[in-house]
Amino acid sequence: MLLAGSAAAQNPATCTQNCPAPYVPNEFWTTEYGPAAANIVLSPTNFLACSSTSYALCYYSGPDAAPKKKRGVAALPSLPCTISAEDANIADCRCYAESGNSYVDIHSIRNTEAYIETVRVCGLNGEKCRNLASDELPGRIASATGATPPTLPTAPVCDYLQADASGKAPMAPDAELVSTFSFARAKSYGVQQTDCPNAAPYAGCMTASCTVERDGKGKPTGFANCRCPIYTGPYQIGQAGASCSAGDGNVWSAAYAPPSTGSGHSGK
């Protein structure tokens, strides 16, 4: 089901007290290209700007083997996305655990109430809230015109990323942290992509539920374990020169920016 025109047309109950609301999986086709699990990117404004004490970065996850070490760059870890033995529609992905500023793709919000609230405030493409474009452009606009752009509100979905007193983030009942996108590891991996135009399974990790990875003594390792839905379609990988195959039993954490959108990159 494609959510066309406005989320208000669906007239669902809206969270007005005791928010965030209980978790209900988002079954909407959030764009004509697929549901939230497809991680579709149509515009830079789709990436809503948030800040949280912790989030998972699955942008580089996929094969069992770590990427080859580049000159001047420290060795990179293994970040596999393994198809679950219990559920072939889920990938268990090892991701970085980060904190601070990150971005949520508005089309990939897997919590129904968070999605409805966010679309109503931010618009279907996120342009009415702080986003990747609005965070980058104000300085340029002010320099060129002498005018200060209006301040945009923070998207409601950002409230669903913060863990509550129970240690769980409201995005989903079992989420210690939530998978979003950032440039935190761009120096190590670069910003180029690999396009995989043939439809194949991939993990749509944006807003997936994650737990903190801990060592034998219970200490956080700096990584997270995320359960990402698997979707089949064309996609882009967040690394240059990568094979579109992540290896037997594995899938890439990926997203899809249709060629005509000119979005420049995709996140997950």
| pLDDT tens-digit readout, 185-201 | 999 999 999 999 999 99
In the predicted model, what is the mean pLDDT of residues 66-94?
88
pLDDT at res. 214: 97
Whole-model pTM?
Answer: 0.85
Burial of 93 (0-12, 13-18, 19+ CB in 10 A): buried
129-152 pLDDT, tens digit each = 999 988 876 555 455 555 556 789
Q: For residues 164 and 3, which has the higher predicted lDDT (pLDDT)?
A: 164
For the chain, domain boundaries: 7-261
Predicted pLDDT at 165 = 87
Q: What is the pLDDT of residue 19?
A: 57
Average pLDDT, the chain: 87
Mean pLDDT value across residues 25-44:
95
- Span 153-173, mean pLDDT? 93
pLDDT above 70 covers a percentage of the chain that reads 82
Query: Is a pLDDT exceeding 90 seen at residue 102?
Result: yes
Q: Which of 7-21, 97-111, 245-259 has the lowest mean pLDDT?
A: 7-21
Please say if the pLDDT value at position 174 is more than 50. yes
pLDDT at 42 over 60: yes
